[in-house]
Amino acid sequence: MEQFAEMLMYTVPSVVVGALAYLLVHRFIQNEQNRHMVEIKRENIKYSAPIILQAHERLILFLERMQMSGLVARLHKPGMSARLMQSEIITTIKTEFEHNITQQLYVSKNAWEYVKKAKEESMKVVSLGMSKLPDGATSIDLAREVLTLTAAQEQDWAQKAIDILKTDLRKNF
């Protein structure tokens, strides 16, 4: 019995010291890993911030260029038919959207959904405007109809998307 007590007297303190050493080393390693992760995040932000800013800028530029008043003015040519104007507007919207499609990597899912919705609504307004015109209508007739429909919309999807992109950007920076 004395030998057992003596053995306990030596093993219990060494187990306690070993457990404390393990906990201290484990905590030190966790702190080092956390510090390393913070450094990595800080480094990532340093390199990704300009890309994120550029993505927001490009999408806002896309949305601004997609505004019907500017789009109609840029694409109108004297003597142009309404059908050709419709085709030009839709092609321009699709092309610019496809040119900026990769920017979705750098914006929130919600912001990207609004950008897509703004594009779809713009194309829908042009198609609806065209459907209201008689055969042989001119680009001026389509422009008037599209601008009237745009003004009558309850929500300006492009402006809403711009507002969300700005809010998204403010959250990140």
Q: Report pLDDT for 173.
A: 73
pLDDT at 59: 97
Burial class (CB in 10 A: 0-12, 13-18, 19+), 16: exposed
Distance set, CA 103 to CA 53, 67, 97, 98 (Å): 10, 19, 10, 10
Is residue 73 in some structural domain? Answer: yes
The reply to whether 4 falls in a domain is: no
Could you give the number of structural domains in the chain?
Answer: 1
How would you label 108-131 residue by residue, b for 16+ Cβ within 10 Å and e otherwise?
A: beebbebbeebbebbbebbeebbe
User: Given this model, what pLDDT does residue 138 score?
Assistant: 93
Single-letter amino acid, residue 153: Q
Structural domain including 100 reads 49-172
pLDDT averaged per 10 residues in sequence order, the chain, 173 residues: 80 89 95 92 84 95 94 92 96 97 95 97 96 93 94 91 94 78
- Tell me, what's the pLDDT at 71? 92
Q: Considering the domain boundaries, does residue 26 fall inside one? A: no
Instruction: Tell me if 71 is assigned to some domain.
Output: yes
In a domain, 17, yes or no: no
CB 64 within 8 A of CB 162: yes
As beta bridge partners, residue 81 has 138
pLDDT at 124: 96
- Domain assignment present for residue 38? The answer is no
Residue 123 is predicted with a pLDDT of 96
Alpha carbons 45 and 52: distance in angstroms, whole number: 9
